[in-house]
């Protein structure tokens, strides 16, 4: 006699499907019924091989857990007569197929005409730039399935096909992961092939979401900012003007918290320019135009009709300091971004130094002879690690990122080739912002001092120099990262003090080369003013000149760095070849710190 087994309800449920009839042969595991609980279906399977006996429930019956649904008489079942309602696996599930088809529409290949147009201008697509920037296979996209909020006037299929991502690509990735363990980075790129890279409703939502995640993760951000600003064509947004949007506030909140890079190529105006404006650094290609108002806004304001190329070209924006790094093209921009970011990702284990004996020949023995301070920066730094920022702006001071024994540092240096190294308003602004940048992100600062002080004269004061110069003092006094000052030649007055963070005792180390000179003001000027009556009383021109030269020589002797060190005004006078070693030693002793800055000035 065959043994009977019950197929029972797996939970409290309702019967929605009965797959078999009495007398049917079934295999163990075959689906004999389907029940539902809280809109979730549960499969009831045969516990044994055999034949279906009595079915004790009907469709729609409400059962309790363990209640019998049907009985099965156990027995051998021939394969040809067995009932097996287990669904066959398809080649690809329909839901996965739909996803893969939708994702395929995000690829450049889905819009060949738009891609051809970009390539014909010698440009790369947004996805090509992102792909070149991030480590292979590391990009996790956010909001890629969004499309423009224009369903009231366009078909959804059209929007999906032609406005992928609502014109902005964003996500998390790794950058420079071959060099650093801490390589996480957020990346966003406006896509100029989608509605000219304009800012739409969905794009703002995506950007807000990603920027908030950046704030939580405290990871760097790289933004490809090309685009024309706000988009007037969206129809589905629930606002009037959109001035309550958080995108610009979120982007600005990152200042001082995480390193941020804006890359500008092509046209970048209005809202796109506003996002670039708050980044730590702006990298631009030679074909870029960057401005707070594009042609439409200018014409709308009644200020005339201009071509995009007339607005904020790179020759203007490099000289005025808006652009930090100028490069030839998209590929060079990506390379510059990766290099810049690397300084804020950590130290390198492998490095190569220059022959430090060459430092002895940087400053000429003739104390008035010009020299190239960039040579000192290059020799001091590891080989091929110097990246200068804003080279055409504030030219009295050079600002550069570099490495010393693999450790990233910031370097500020007076350039005697411009205004004799005198600090004017622009160079004070440049140095102040650079110091804030290094302080916020924990880079020690090396100051190479050779300045006759701040710039003088009525024209200089027209530039609001009083306040700009004061900014350099306020910034220097607020630094928490290590600051080392090396006097290469002139250390005169307030300008020299500003190069030392406000005081030669306000830093970790103040040293000078043997060519160093310390004075409260320019020596020649001090003699002219201090000995004016004595000199005026000498009627003979030659005698007066001889007395003047004697006093100048005497003051030079008094101002020598050796004398300053003997009075404790600086910590030491060193052989120039020892500079790198002295800096390395003090930095090894200094703890890793970064400034608690609410922001980095945008200027």
Secondary structure of 58-71 as H, E, C letters: CCCCEECCCCEEEE
| Predicted local confidence at residue 371, as pLDDT | 97
Tokens of 63: 């059962």
CATH architecture of 111-342: Alpha-Beta Complex (3.90)
Check residue 524 and give left, alpha or beta (phi > 0: left; psi -120 to 50: alpha). Answer: alpha
Buried b (16+ CB within 10 A) or exposed e, 45-76: bbbbbbbbbebebeeeeebeeebebbbbbbee
CA 362 centroid distance within chain: 34
Q: Is 50:1 a contact under the CB 8 Å cutoff?
A: no
C-alpha span between 260 and 250 (Å, rounded): 12
| Positions of the chain with pLDDT under 50 | none
Q: Is 561:514 a contact under the CB 8 Å cutoff?
A: yes
Name the nearest CA neighbour of 443 among 474, 414, 475, 403: 403
Instruction: Sort 178 into a burial class: Cβ within 10 Å, 0-12 / 13-18 / 19+.
Output: exposed
- Residues in a beta bridge with 264: 284
- Tell me 317's DSSP state: H
C-alpha span between 61 and 151 (Å, rounded): 45
Give 448-462 pLDDT, tens digit per residue. Answer: 999 999 998 899 999
| Predicted local confidence at residue 190, as pLDDT | 94
In sequence order, which residues have a C-beta less than 8 Å from that of residue 439 and are 6 or more positions away? 445, 478, 479, 480, 481, 594, 595, 597
H or E stretch at 95 = helix 94-104
Q: What stretches of 392-511 show up as alpha helix (H) in DSSP?
A: 425-441, 458-461, 465-477, 493-499
C-alpha span between 95 and 60 (Å, rounded): 29
| Predicted local confidence at residue 1, as pLDDT | 57
H or E stretch at 189 = strand 184-190
Half-sphere exposure of 478 (CA within 13 A, CB side): 19
Question: Within a 10 A sphere around the Cβ of 35, how many other Cβ atoms?
Answer: 25
Backbone angles phi, psi at 36, to 5 degrees: -130, 140
pTM above 0.85?
yes
CATH architecture of 4-83: Beta Barrel (2.40)
Q: Is 551:527 a contact under the CB 8 Å cutoff?
A: yes
- Tell me 522's DSSP state: -
H or E stretch at 168 = strand 168-174
Instruction: Tell the CATH topology of 356-516+560-589.
Output: 2-enoyl-CoA Hydratase; Chain A, domain 1 (3.90.226)
């Amino acid at each position: 006699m065959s043994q009977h087994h019950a197929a029972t309800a797996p939970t409290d449920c309702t019967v929605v499907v009965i797959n078999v009839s009495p007398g049917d042969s079934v295999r163990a595991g075959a689906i004999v019924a389907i029940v539902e609980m809280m809109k979730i279906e549960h499969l009831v399977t045969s516990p044994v091989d055999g034949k279906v006996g009595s079915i004790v429930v009907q469709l729609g019956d409400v059962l309790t857990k363990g209640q019998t649904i049907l009985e099965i008489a156990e027995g051998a079942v021939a394969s040809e007569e067995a009932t097996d309602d287990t669904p066959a696996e398809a080649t690809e599930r329909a839901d996965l197929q739909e996803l893969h088809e939708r994702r395929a529409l995000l690829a450049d290949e889905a819009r060949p005409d738009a891609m051809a147009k970009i390539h014909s201008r010698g440009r790369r697509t947004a996805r090509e730039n992102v792909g070149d920037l991030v480590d292979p296979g590391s990009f996790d996209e956010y909001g890629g399935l969004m499309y423009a909020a224009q369903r009231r006037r366009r078909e959804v299929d059209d929007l999906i096909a032609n406005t992928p991502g609502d014109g902005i690509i964003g996500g998390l990735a790794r950058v420079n992961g071959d060099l650093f363990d801490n390589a996480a980075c957020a990346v966003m790129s406006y896509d100029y092939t989608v509605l000219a890279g304009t800012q739409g409703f969905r794009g703002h939502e995506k950007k807000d979401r990603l920027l908030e995640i950046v704030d939580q993760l405290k990871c760097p951000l790289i933004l490809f900012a090309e685009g024309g600003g706000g988009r007037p064509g969206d129809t589905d947004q629930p606002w009037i003007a959109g001035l309550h949007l958080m995108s610009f506030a979120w982007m600005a909140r990152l200042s001082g918290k995480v390193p941020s890079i804006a890359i500008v190529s092509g046209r970048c105006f209005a809202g796109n320019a506003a996002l670039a404006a708050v980044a730590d650094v702006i990298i631009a290609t030679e074909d870029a135009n960057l401005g707070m108002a594009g042609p439409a806004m200018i014409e709308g304001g009644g200020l005339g009709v201009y071509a995009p190329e007339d607005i904020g070209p790179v020759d203007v924006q490099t000289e005025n300091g808006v652009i930090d790094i100028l490069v030839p093209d998209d590929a060079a921009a990506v390379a510059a971004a990766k290099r810049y970011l690397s300084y804020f990702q950590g130290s390198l284990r492998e490095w190569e130094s220059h022959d430090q004996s060459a430092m002895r020949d940087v400053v000429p023995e003739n104390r008035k002879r010009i020299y190239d301070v960039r040579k000192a920066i290059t020799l001091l730094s590891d080989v091929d690690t110097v990246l200068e920022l804003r080279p055409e702006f504030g030219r009295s001071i050079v600002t550069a990122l570099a490495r010393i024994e693999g450790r990233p540092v910031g370097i500020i240096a007076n350039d005697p080739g411009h205004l004799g190294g005198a600090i004017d308003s622009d160079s004070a602004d440049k140095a102040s912002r650079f110091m804030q940048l290094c302080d916020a992100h924990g880079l020690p600062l090396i100051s190479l001092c050779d300045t006759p002080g701040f710039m003088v004269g009525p024209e200089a004061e027209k530039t609001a120099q009083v306040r700009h110069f004061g900014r350099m003092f306020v910034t220097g006094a607020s630094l928490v990262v290590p600051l080392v000052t090396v006097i290469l030649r002139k250390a005169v007055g307030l300008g020299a003090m500003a190069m030392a963070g406000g005081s030669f005792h306000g830093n970790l180390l103040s040293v000078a080369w043997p060519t160093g000179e310390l004075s409260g003001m320019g020596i020649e000027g001090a003699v002219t003013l201090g000995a004016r009556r004595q000199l005026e009383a000498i009627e003979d021109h030659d005698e007066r000149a001889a007395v003047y030269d004697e006093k100048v020589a005497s003051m030079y002797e008094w101002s020598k760095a050796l004398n300053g060190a003997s009075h404790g005004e600086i910590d030491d006078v060193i052989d120039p070849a020892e500079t790198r070693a002295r800096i390395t030693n003090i930095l090894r002793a200094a703890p890793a710190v970064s400034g608690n800055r609410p922001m980095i000035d945008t200027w």
